[in-house]
Amino acid sequence: MKVVVIGGTGLIGSKLVEKLNEHGHEAVPAAPNTGVNTLTGEGLAEVLQGASVVVDVSNSPSFEDDAVMEFFRTSTTNLLKAETEAGVTHHVALSVVGTERLQESGYFRAKQAQEELIKASGIPYSIVHATQFFEFMKSIAAAATDGDTVRLAPIKIQPVYSDDVAAAVGRTAVGTPVNGVVEVAGPDTFQLDELIRKGLAAKNDPRTVVTDPHAPYFGAELKENTLLPGPDARIAETRFADWLAQQK
Ligand SMILES: NC(=O)c1ccc[n+]([C@@H]2O[C@H](COP(=O)([O-])OP(=O)(O)OC[C@H]3O[C@@H](n4cnc5c(N)ncnc54)[C@H](OP(=O)(O)O)[C@@H]3O)[C@@H](O)[C@H]2O)c1
């Protein structure tokens, strides 16, 4: 089965391409440096020829409110149009657990717009909602940093290994479209401020984590459970502590 992976050179995309090929599928990575650009439409019609499934794991180069909205609106619109013309029968996209509850944030408004375009496209689809990747903890700390202070709310987070996300997206891509959302999360729940505090201390990072219940998360104020999945989420195997122990 030919599966085109939009964003196939990224963190999730490169792992996904490898896993699909290992399972005997023809996975084709599509990104600007393979000659496919969903913003301009360059290379799209060509790469989609003969494809049954398209997986979109691309991401916006900028998280600034207008730029990220422009990215997901334009790229998704171009992609879905090209898929309709090519006769693609399953569109899979990776989004984030709780997107619908995070609408104070420009990034999540853009992800919501992406999801709505997919639902209205008429193409059978599956949306995978993942929690935050283990690799993303650094970016959470960076986004919350002001000088030497990292301001974070004492909310719950259930991060997941990117490898496990790629596996879940792969299984979804070769399965029947669910025409809805499936969730995937890691096996352990942490309190965000404590997790980052310990992580920074372990690396002798000089920043201090300040617990602030009103500290925004990428522009949105969160309730304790906003980032947690529902009871039907697929729970991935890899534990954060085991992953961390293997990082250099
Ligand atoms: N980070 C998290 O914790 C998290 C959690 C849940 C879900 N997600 C979702 O997971 C998805 C993938 O994230 P990631 O971290 O794997 O992304 P990433 O590593 O930043 O990779 C993004 C990919 O998108 C490609 N891309 C950028 N502009 C493009 C364009 N105009 N046309 C085609 N491809 C383009 C990039 O190609 P180049 O390298 O050539 O620019 C790259 O292959 C995102 O949609 C995100 O919302 C993330």
Beta pairing, strands 26-30 & 145-146: unpaired
* Tokens 């691309």, residue located: 58
In the reported structure, the alpha carbon of residue 89 is separated from the centroid of ligand 1 by a whole-number distance in angstroms of 22
Under CATH, what is the fold of the domain 2-246? Rossmann fold (3.40.50)
Structure tokens at 7: 């964003």
pLDDT at 161: 98
pLDDT at 16: 98
Structure tokens at 8: 């196939």
Q: Measure CA 102 to chain center.
A: 14
Over residues 181-224, the pLDDT tens digits come to 999 999 999 999 999 999 999 889 999 999 999 999 999 999 99
pLDDT at 43: 98
DSSP 220: B
pLDDT at 247: 87
Taking the chain, what is the end-to-end CA distance rounded to the nearest angstrom?
Answer: 37
Minimum CA distance residue for ligand 1 atom 37: 31
Minimum CA distance residue for ligand 1 atom 11: 57
pLDDT at 44: 98
Q: Given the CA of residue 95, which atom of ligand 1 is nearest to it?
A: 7
Minimum CA distance residue for ligand 1 atom 14: 11
Q: Given the CA of residue 93, which atom of ligand 1 is nearest to it?
A: 45
User: pTM for the whole thing?
Assistant: 0.97
The ligand 1 site (C-beta within 6 Å) comprises 6-7, 9-13, 31-33, 36-39, 57-59, 61, 75, 94-96, 111, 130, 132-133, 136
pLDDT at 174: 98
Q: pLDDT below 50 — which residues of the chain? A: none
Sign of CA dihedral 62, 9, 55, 87: positive
Question: Are the beta carbons of 136 and 158 closer than 8 angstroms?
Answer: no
For residue 162, count other CB atoms closer than 10 A to its CB.
21
The domain segmentation of the chain, as residue ranges, is 2-246
